[in-house]
Amino acid sequence: MTNFPFDIILFDLDGTLVDSARDLCPAVNHALGVIGRAPVSESATRNMIGGGTDMMLTRALEATGGLVSEADYERLTAALLDHYWANIATNTVPFPGCHEALDLLDRHGCELAICTNKSEKPARELLDALGLTHRFAVIYGGDTLGRERAKPLPDMLQAAIADCGGGRAAMIGDSTYDMRAGRAAGVTVVACRFGYHDVPVSELGGDVLIDDLYHLVPALENLSC
């Protein structure tokens, strides 16, 4: 297939390709339980995801009584990660249309990359568990270049584009971290109406908004400039 307007498609992971709140919520609640905090709902957790584990835990603590000491925070982070890594794909599934969109992009000859603020190790473990790793030429986690260079900075997007050989790229995501990183990298940005939003969907500010991943390739095809 020819005449597709993009060479490289960059994907966020949590809330964009996979519905990982199904396993992140139990991990957050496990950590909160260590200090006797009340659990948060899965719907609430969906609005806490986006900036990596530290941001998610911080938001959960703020929602359930406030922040804790540095020592307790480190203990809760370890508890959260231990629980999550042991159950990383127990309930997580790709969003509807994920496989179909990746198939179509492959047929169009696109290079595909993951650009997530999730740490690289669990990102790879999750992709492995879901049988998705082989789909991507490049996988960047929030710690791959160092946490200080994670989204919303454009660094991992720029590195992934270079690794994929350069060309016209688009960033697909569900949060302002993705939108801002894409803008800073100078690439087209597609916002997902589904997923985990840190602002109302109307405020994400993508070049185009899609209802599901079935609509991704047609949306990209319509972006001719």
Residues serving a catalytic function are 12
CB-based contacts of 111: which residues, under 8 Å, 6+ apart? 7, 8, 9, 137, 138, 164, 165, 167
Cβ within 8 Å of residue 45, ≥6 positions away: 21, 24, 25, 28, 56, 60
Name the strands in the sheet holding 8-11, side by side, starting at the edge strand that comes first in the sequence: 138-140, 111-115, 8-11, 169-173, 188-192, 208-210
